[in-house]
Protein backbone atom coordinates (compact mmCIF):
# COMPACT_ATOMS: atom_id res chain seq x y z
CA UNK A 1 0.00 0.00 0.00
CA UNK A 2 1.40 3.37 -0.90
CA UNK A 3 0.47 5.39 2.16
CA UNK A 4 0.84 8.69 0.35
CA UNK A 5 -1.77 7.74 -2.18
CA UNK A 6 -4.39 5.59 -0.59
CA UNK A 7 -5.66 5.55 2.98
CA UNK A 8 -8.08 2.86 4.09
CA UNK A 9 -10.86 3.06 6.71
CA UNK A 10 -12.88 0.21 8.18
CA UNK A 11 -16.27 1.44 9.43
CA UNK A 12 -18.49 -0.92 11.42
CA UNK A 13 -22.26 -0.53 11.43
CA UNK A 14 -21.89 1.43 8.20
CA UNK A 15 -25.17 0.23 6.71
CA UNK A 16 -27.14 3.05 8.29
CA UNK A 17 -27.16 6.07 10.58
CA UNK A 18 -23.87 7.52 11.78
CA UNK A 19 -21.77 4.73 10.24
CA UNK A 20 -23.17 5.26 6.73
CA UNK A 21 -22.42 9.00 6.98
CA UNK A 22 -18.89 8.29 8.28
CA UNK A 23 -18.25 5.90 5.35
CA UNK A 24 -19.56 8.46 2.84
CA UNK A 25 -17.46 11.28 4.32
CA UNK A 26 -14.26 9.19 4.22
CA UNK A 27 -14.99 8.27 0.60
CA UNK A 28 -15.63 11.91 -0.30
CA UNK A 29 -12.22 12.74 1.19
CA UNK A 30 -10.53 10.09 -1.00
CA UNK A 31 -10.19 7.36 1.63
CA UNK A 32 -11.01 3.78 0.52
CA UNK A 33 -13.75 2.40 2.76
CA UNK A 34 -14.64 -1.03 4.06
CA UNK A 35 -18.34 -0.92 4.87
CA UNK A 36 -19.16 -3.53 7.57
CA UNK A 37 -22.53 -4.51 8.91
CA UNK A 38 -24.74 -7.48 9.72
CA UNK A 39 -27.48 -6.02 7.53
CA UNK A 40 -26.21 -7.06 4.08
CA UNK A 41 -28.82 -5.18 2.06
CA UNK A 42 -28.16 -1.92 3.87
CA UNK A 43 -24.36 -2.34 3.79
CA UNK A 44 -24.34 -3.18 0.07
CA UNK A 45 -26.58 -0.21 -0.72
CA UNK A 46 -24.19 2.21 1.00
CA UNK A 47 -21.22 0.55 -0.76
CA UNK A 48 -22.89 0.76 -4.19
CA UNK A 49 -23.78 4.39 -3.60
CA UNK A 50 -20.18 5.29 -2.66
CA UNK A 51 -18.79 3.48 -5.73
CA UNK A 52 -21.42 5.06 -8.00
CA UNK A 53 -20.26 8.49 -6.83
CA UNK A 54 -16.62 7.75 -7.68
CA UNK A 55 -15.45 6.55 -4.27
CA UNK A 56 -13.79 3.25 -3.45
CA UNK A 57 -15.68 0.86 -1.19
CA UNK A 58 -16.23 -2.81 -0.50
CA UNK A 59 -18.84 -4.42 1.70
CA UNK A 60 -17.95 -7.10 4.28
CA UNK A 61 -20.49 -8.83 6.50
CA UNK A 62 -19.10 -8.62 10.03
CA UNK A 63 -20.76 -9.27 13.35
CA UNK A 64 -18.52 -7.11 15.51
CA UNK A 65 -19.15 -9.25 18.60
CA UNK A 66 -17.37 -12.22 16.99
CA UNK A 67 -13.61 -12.62 16.73
CA UNK A 68 -13.73 -14.75 13.56
CA UNK A 69 -15.77 -12.04 11.80
CA UNK A 70 -13.04 -9.49 12.58
CA UNK A 71 -10.40 -11.88 11.23
CA UNK A 72 -12.36 -12.26 8.00
CA UNK A 73 -12.85 -8.50 7.86
CA UNK A 74 -9.11 -7.88 8.14
CA UNK A 75 -8.31 -10.57 5.55
CA UNK A 76 -10.75 -9.08 3.01
CA UNK A 77 -9.55 -5.54 3.73
CA UNK A 78 -5.91 -6.49 3.25
CA UNK A 79 -6.64 -8.52 0.14
CA UNK A 80 -8.55 -5.66 -1.49
CA UNK A 81 -6.69 -2.58 -0.28
CA UNK A 82 -3.35 -3.87 1.03
CA UNK A 83 -3.70 -2.61 4.60
CA UNK A 84 -5.68 -0.42 6.95
CA UNK A 85 -5.19 3.02 8.49
CA UNK A 86 -8.38 3.78 10.39
CA UNK A 87 -10.85 1.61 12.28
CA UNK A 88 -14.15 3.15 13.33
CA UNK A 89 -15.93 1.09 15.98
CA UNK A 90 -19.36 2.53 15.31
CA UNK A 91 -21.73 -0.48 15.30
CA UNK A 92 -23.92 -0.30 18.38
CA UNK A 93 -27.05 -1.73 19.90
CA UNK A 94 -29.38 -1.16 22.80
CA UNK A 95 -32.65 -2.33 24.29
CA UNK A 96 -35.78 -0.20 24.40
CA UNK A 97 -35.60 2.35 27.23
CA UNK A 98 -36.99 0.79 30.43
CA UNK A 99 -36.54 0.79 34.22
CA UNK A 100 -33.44 -1.12 35.28
CA UNK A 101 -35.35 -3.87 37.10
CA UNK A 102 -37.20 -4.65 33.86
CA UNK A 103 -33.96 -5.19 31.95
CA UNK A 104 -32.78 -8.74 31.22
CA UNK A 105 -29.44 -10.47 31.08
CA UNK A 106 -29.96 -10.57 27.32
CA UNK A 107 -30.27 -6.75 27.26
CA UNK A 108 -27.04 -6.49 29.22
CA UNK A 109 -25.21 -8.95 26.94
CA UNK A 110 -26.45 -7.19 23.80
CA UNK A 111 -25.03 -3.86 24.96
CA UNK A 112 -21.71 -5.23 26.18
CA UNK A 113 -21.20 -7.64 23.26
CA UNK A 114 -21.95 -5.16 20.47
CA UNK A 115 -20.76 -1.92 22.10
CA UNK A 116 -17.79 -3.14 24.10
CA UNK A 117 -16.56 -6.64 23.26
CA UNK A 118 -16.39 -5.38 19.67
CA UNK A 119 -13.68 -2.95 20.73
CA UNK A 120 -11.78 -5.80 22.42
CA UNK A 121 -11.85 -7.81 19.18
CA UNK A 122 -10.97 -4.80 17.04
CA UNK A 123 -7.89 -4.14 19.15
CA UNK A 124 -6.69 -7.75 19.15
CA UNK A 125 -7.24 -8.23 15.41
CA UNK A 126 -6.47 -4.79 14.01
CA UNK A 127 -3.48 -3.61 16.07
CA UNK A 128 -1.01 -5.94 14.29
CA UNK A 129 -2.23 -4.55 10.95
CA UNK A 130 -2.00 -0.97 12.22
CA UNK A 131 1.57 -1.68 13.38
CA UNK A 132 2.40 -2.78 9.83
CA UNK A 133 0.86 0.45 8.56
CA UNK A 134 3.02 2.47 10.97
CA UNK A 135 6.13 0.58 9.80
CA UNK A 136 5.35 1.78 6.29
CA UNK A 137 5.01 5.33 7.62
CA UNK A 138 1.23 5.60 7.29
CA UNK A 139 -1.15 7.12 9.85
CA UNK A 140 -3.02 4.78 12.19
CA UNK A 141 -6.02 5.63 14.37
CA UNK A 142 -9.04 4.03 15.97
CA UNK A 143 -12.20 6.01 16.77
CA UNK A 144 -14.77 4.45 19.09
CA UNK A 145 -18.31 5.80 18.82
CA UNK A 146 -19.45 6.06 22.45
CA UNK A 147 -22.25 8.38 23.63
CA UNK A 148 -23.04 11.31 25.88
CA UNK A 149 -24.82 8.56 27.84
CA UNK A 150 -21.38 7.23 28.77
CA UNK A 151 -20.63 10.51 30.52
CA UNK A 152 -23.97 11.70 31.92
CA UNK A 153 -26.95 9.67 33.11
CA UNK A 154 -30.46 9.56 31.66
CA UNK A 155 -33.23 7.31 32.94
CA UNK A 156 -33.95 3.92 31.41
CA UNK A 157 -30.63 3.17 29.68
CA UNK A 158 -28.41 1.98 32.52
CA UNK A 159 -26.59 -0.93 30.85
CA UNK A 160 -26.34 0.85 27.48
CA UNK A 161 -24.82 3.86 29.26
CA UNK A 162 -22.46 1.61 31.24
CA UNK A 163 -21.23 -0.03 28.02
CA UNK A 164 -20.51 3.41 26.56
CA UNK A 165 -18.70 4.52 29.74
CA UNK A 166 -16.55 1.39 29.42
CA UNK A 167 -15.92 2.29 25.78
CA UNK A 168 -14.69 5.75 26.82
CA UNK A 169 -12.52 4.29 29.57
CA UNK A 170 -10.82 1.75 27.31
CA UNK A 171 -10.26 4.44 24.67
CA UNK A 172 -8.23 6.49 27.15
CA UNK A 173 -6.24 3.49 28.37
CA UNK A 174 -5.53 2.32 24.83
CA UNK A 175 -4.43 5.84 23.87
CA UNK A 176 -1.83 5.72 26.63
CA UNK A 177 -0.64 2.21 25.77
CA UNK A 178 -0.31 2.78 22.03
CA UNK A 179 0.69 6.46 22.07
CA UNK A 180 4.43 5.62 21.87
CA UNK A 181 3.70 3.71 18.64
CA UNK A 182 1.77 6.69 17.21
CA UNK A 183 -1.44 4.68 17.02
CA UNK A 184 -4.11 7.11 18.20
CA UNK A 185 -7.34 6.25 20.00
CA UNK A 186 -10.22 8.69 20.41
CA UNK A 187 -13.92 8.46 21.21
CA UNK A 188 -16.86 10.39 19.84
CA UNK A 189 -19.79 11.00 22.19
CA UNK A 190 -22.89 11.82 20.15
CA UNK A 191 -26.03 13.21 21.69
CA UNK A 192 -29.46 11.80 20.71
CA UNK A 193 -29.40 11.63 16.92
CA UNK A 194 -31.55 11.12 13.88
CA UNK A 195 -30.90 7.42 13.18
CA UNK A 196 -32.51 4.00 13.38
CA UNK A 197 -31.68 3.73 17.10
CA UNK A 198 -33.44 6.95 18.07
CA UNK A 199 -36.76 5.38 19.08
CA UNK A 200 -34.95 2.96 21.42
CA UNK A 201 -33.63 5.82 23.54
CA UNK A 202 -36.98 7.43 24.25
CA UNK A 203 -38.89 6.34 27.33
CA UNK A 204 -41.01 8.87 29.08
CA UNK A 205 -38.79 11.52 27.56
CA UNK A 206 -40.28 12.83 24.31
CA UNK A 207 -38.19 14.05 21.41
CA UNK A 208 -39.15 17.64 22.31
CA UNK A 209 -37.85 17.14 25.85
CA UNK A 210 -34.58 15.74 24.50
CA UNK A 211 -34.18 18.70 22.18
CA UNK A 212 -34.89 21.21 24.97
CA UNK A 213 -31.88 19.77 26.85
CA UNK A 214 -29.57 20.56 23.90
CA UNK A 215 -28.43 24.22 23.87
CA UNK A 216 -28.03 24.32 20.07
CA UNK A 217 -31.66 23.23 19.84
CA UNK A 218 -31.58 20.11 17.65
CA UNK A 219 -30.62 16.44 17.60
CA UNK A 220 -27.30 15.34 16.18
CA UNK A 221 -27.34 14.48 12.48
CA UNK A 222 -25.23 11.68 10.96
CA UNK A 223 -23.13 14.31 9.15
CA UNK A 224 -22.20 15.96 12.51
CA UNK A 225 -20.80 12.66 13.73
CA UNK A 226 -19.12 11.92 10.39
CA UNK A 227 -17.35 15.29 10.28
CA UNK A 228 -15.92 14.88 13.79
CA UNK A 229 -14.93 11.24 13.29
CA UNK A 230 -13.11 11.87 10.02
CA UNK A 231 -11.41 14.90 11.59
CA UNK A 232 -10.09 12.72 14.43
CA UNK A 233 -8.45 10.48 11.80
CA UNK A 234 -6.97 13.36 9.84
CA UNK A 235 -3.41 14.71 9.89
CA UNK A 236 -4.82 17.88 11.47
CA UNK A 237 -5.68 15.77 14.54
CA UNK A 238 -2.27 14.08 14.75
CA UNK A 239 -1.66 15.35 18.31
CA UNK A 240 -5.09 14.26 19.59
CA UNK A 241 -5.32 10.99 21.42
CA UNK A 242 -7.33 9.82 24.44
CA UNK A 243 -10.04 12.39 23.74
CA UNK A 244 -13.74 11.67 24.36
CA UNK A 245 -15.27 14.34 22.16
CA UNK A 246 -18.90 15.24 22.85
CA UNK A 247 -20.70 16.00 19.59
CA UNK A 248 -23.74 17.17 21.43
CA UNK A 249 -24.80 20.72 20.64
CA UNK A 250 -23.69 21.71 24.14
CA UNK A 251 -25.72 19.09 26.03
CA UNK A 252 -22.83 18.36 28.43
CA UNK A 253 -21.73 22.01 28.75
Ligand X SMILES: NC(=O)c1ccc[n+]([C@@H]2O[C@H](COP(=O)([O-])OP(=O)(O)OC[C@H]3O[C@@H](n4cnc5c(N)ncnc54)[C@H](O)[C@@H]3O)[C@@H](O)[C@H]2O)c1
Q: Which of residues 99, 155, 179, 196 is near ligand X by CB under 6 A?
A: 196
Among 142, 159, 201, 243, the residue binding ligand X under the rule CB under 6 A is 201
Interface residue with ligand X, options 9, 10, 15, 26 (CB under 6 A): 15
Buried b vs exposed e over 182-219: b needs ≥16 C-beta within 10 Å? ebbbbbbbbbbbbbebeebbeeebeeeebeebbeeeeb
Q: Does 197 bind ligand X (CB under 6 A)?
A: yes
- What number of helices (H) and strands (E) belong to the chain? 9, 7
Applying CB under 6 A, does 166 fall inside the site for ligand X?
Answer: no
Nearest to 9 by CA among 42, 37, 33, 36: 33
CB of 87 to ligand X, least distance (A): 13
Q: In Å, how far from its chain's centre is CA 176?
A: 20
Cα gap 98→74, rounded to integer Å: 37
Catalytically annotated residue among 160, 185, 192, 210: 160
Binding status of residue 33 toward ligand X by CB under 6 A: no
Active site residue 160: yes
Q: Provide, rounded to whole angstroms, the least separation between the CB of residue 136 and ligand X.
A: 28
Nearest to 186 by CA among 115, 118, 127, 241: 241
Q: Decide whether 1 or 64 has the Cβ nearer to ligand X.
A: 64
Chain positions 134 to 153 lying near ligand X, rule: CB under 6 A, are 145, 147
Contact footprint for ligand X (CB under 6 A): 12-13, 15-19, 37-39, 42, 62-65, 90-93, 114-115, 145, 147, 190, 192-193, 195-198, 201
Amino acid sequence: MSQDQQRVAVVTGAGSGFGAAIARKFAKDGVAVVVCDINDDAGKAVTDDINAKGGKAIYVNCDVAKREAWERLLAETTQKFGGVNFVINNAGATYKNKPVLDTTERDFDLCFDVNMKSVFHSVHVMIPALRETRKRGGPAAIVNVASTAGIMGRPGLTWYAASKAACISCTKNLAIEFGPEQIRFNAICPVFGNTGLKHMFMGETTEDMFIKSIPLGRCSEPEDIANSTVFLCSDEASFLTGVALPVDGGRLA
